[in-house]
Amino acid sequence: MSRPQHFGWFLARGFGPQGWGYPSLEWDYDWTRPEIYQDAARTLEQAGFDLVIIEDAPSLGSPSTIDLRVRHAFGGPKHDPFLLAPYLFQATRHLGVVPTVNPAAYLPYTAARQFATLQHLSGHRLGLNVVTDTGSARHFSAAPQLGHDEAYDRAEEWLDGIRALWRSWDDGALLADRETDVYADGTRLRAVEHRGEHFDFDGPLNAVPFTDGDPAIVSPGGSGRGLGFAGANSDVQLALAPLNEKSVRDYRARVHDAATESGRRPEDIKILFAIQPVITPSAEEADRIVAASAHPDDAALVQIARKQSSDLETDLTSLDLDRPLDLSVFGAHVSRGSIQRLIGDRGEEAPLRAHLSALARAGRISDRTGFVGTAEEFADLIEELGEWGNDGVLLWGDFHPVTLHRTLDELVPVLRRRGILRREYADGGLQTNLRAF
Ligand SMILES: Cc1cc2nc3c(=O)[nH]c(=O)nc-3n(C[C@H](O)[C@H](O)[C@H](O)COP(=O)(O)O)c2cc1C
């Protein structure tokens, strides 16, 4: 038997039109209603997943490129995942639910109060995916947009403030003593009085303290500053990195070093590596998919161009596929790193078709060139990750039932038989499940 690992699902297009652009849309689910998400949450709980993380961006992006973002629903609309969470808690008993939150959008006192309320309502199953994107700043204030590292500084101040409010009730402040008829001892509540670089506020918080751990803090940033934030603050780090031994061990060491520097223990953080597998019924089918992906037709390339146009806020669909991609089409608002990820090492002379085809190309799990393969092959990969000390994986997809079942139906029995995937939950909330192994 192998070591158990933690499993998370990343709802990658957020609380938005599930299945848009795919044939599965004809199942006619209404993405604005809770049922499709509740069904998915029940499935993930049955499958033994620790948590589901709901992607979010509070903005439709730059005013000049809104049409690119909404036309094929890659960049919006998105409804607020924090308000979806209670519906998912109500549909499940053990699954952790982790909406994405941006410190720019919530004042610390409001955040501390709302998060505390949901932590109690859910039986300690709330997590918060803390992101520092600054592109949506104009929706919240007229203040100048913060730089990359400053946004992390603000997030740390925000979390410190929230934690101070959560701790503003000393042990013994909450009495609920019927004999003496005293509910709480107000002399044991702290004023907090936070005066900082980004926030000023006073406490104490008017929500009662937790009995079974704070909401779990999740973080996805992979920069040096992002890993520093994770080391100091996170219970779960979402990792995007090549899945070879050196890369996995290096990534883990960087997070663990950051934790130690902040006076925490490496085992306080679970690192989940993100994977988007295509699980096939047979090795022959996997070979067929990989072979077909080497020669994508124009329709497949257009679909990729649409997603890239949304992510890069630049219209690639109107460009000639067979001409070199002129990098001047990208305005100053587009991150150079994102452009680099599109063109890879192919250089500016390569036609757009070459860049999009590279994104279309799939590889086999069995030879570690990609993530197409059978459930057994995928389980071999996860087992190998476990041998390198891995804590868990984050499967990536939408919440459409077709996506979920295509990925999980064959995988869950194989992972369970090998002892990699939990069969039962600990008796407690999300933090208890994360610390169970
Ligand atoms: C698995 C994963 C999930 C992410 N989810 C979100 C998200 O929901 N919303 C968001 O604004 N950014 C998201 N990001 C982006 C990060 O928050 C961050 O903006 C990005 O990684 C850049 O930060 P860095 O420079 O520290 O890497 C995600 C990144 C990864 C790897």
> Using one digit for the tens of pLDDT, what is the confidence trace for 370-418?
999 999 999 999 999 999 999 999 999 999 888 999 999 999 999 999 9
Give the pLDDT score at 221: 94
Give the pLDDT score at 65: 85
Q: What is the pTM of this model?
A: 0.96
- d(CA 55, ligand 1 centre) in Å: 9
Substitution site in 9, 13, 133 for ligand 1 pocket (most atoms within 8 Å of beta carbon)? 133
Which residue's C-alpha comes closest to atom 20 of ligand 1? 221
- Which of these CATH numbers, 3.20.20.30, 3.30.70.1450, 3.60.21.10, 3.30.70.520, describes 6-147+203-281+373-434? 3.20.20.30
Cis upstream peptide for 204 (omega within 30°): yes
The contacts found for 415-418 with CB under 8 angstroms, 24 or more apart, are 415/375, 415/379, 415/382, 416/48, 418/1, 418/2, 418/379, 418/383
Structure tokens at 295: 């020669």
Substitution site in 51, 52, 55 for ligand 1 pocket (most atoms within 8 Å of beta carbon)? 55
CB burial string 333-359: b at 16+ within 10 A, e below: ebeeeeeeebbeeeeeebbbbbbbbbb
Structure tokens at 171: 């042990």
Closest Cα to residue 146, out of 107, 103, 117? 103
Pairing, β 51-54 against β 96-101: parallel
Sign of the torsion angle spanned by Cα atoms 319, 325, 326, 331: positive
- d(CA 70, ligand 1 centre) in Å: 20
Any idea where the domains of the chain sit in the sequence? 6-147+203-281+373-434, 295-360
For residue 4 and ligand 1, the question of a CB distance below 6 A is answered with no
Which residue's C-alpha comes closest to atom 23 of ligand 1? 221
**Cβ-proximal residues to 229 (8 Å cutoff; 6+ apart), any chain:** 130, 132, 152, 155, 156, 219, 221
For residue 274 and ligand 1, the question of a CB distance below 6 A is answered with yes
Nearest-angstrom CA–CA distance, 124 and 270: 18
Which atom of ligand 1 sits closest to the CA of residue 240?
Answer: 31
Structure tokens at 287: 């070979």
Nearest-angstrom CA–CA distance, 216 and 113: 15
For residue 221 and ligand 1, the question of a CB distance below 6 A is answered with yes
Contact predicate 418/375, CB 8 Å: no
Give the pLDDT score at 305: 94
Which residue's C-alpha comes closest to atom 13 of ligand 1? 131
For residue 147 and ligand 1, the question of a CB distance below 6 A is answered with no
Closest Cα to residue 150, out of 132, 174, 138? 132
Beta bridge partners of 279: 373
Percent helix, strand and coil across the chain, each to the nearest 5? 45, 15, 45
**What Cα–Cα distance (Å) separates residue 360 from each residue in 307, 372, 384?**
12, 13, 26
Structure tokens at 113: 């109060």
Chain Cα centroid distance, residue 430: 15
For residue 302 and ligand 1, the question of a CB distance below 6 A is answered with no
Q: What is the pLDDT along the chain (437 residues), one digit of tens a residue?
A: 789 999 999 999 999 998 898 888 898 999 999 999 999 999 999 999 999 999 999 999 888 889 999 999 999 999 999 999 999 999 999 999 999 999 999 999 999 999 999 999 999 999 999 999 988 899 998 888 899 999 999 999 999 999 999 999 999 999 999 999 999 999 999 999 999 999 999 999 999 999 899 999 999 999 999 999 999 999 999 999 999 999 999 999 999 999 999 999 999 999 999 999 999 999 999 999 999 999 999 999 999 999 999 989 899 999 999 999 999 999 887 888 889 989 999 988 999 999 999 999 999 999 999 999 999 999 999 999 999 999 999 999 999 888 999 999 999 999 999 999 999 999 899 999 999 99
Which residue's C-alpha comes closest to atom 8 of ligand 1? 55
Give the pLDDT score at 60: 92
In a 13 Å sphere around the CA of 334, the CA atoms on its Cβ side amount to: 21
For residue 56 and ligand 1, the question of a CB distance below 6 A is answered with yes
Give the pLDDT score at 409: 97
For residue 240 and ligand 1, the question of a CB distance below 6 A is answered with yes
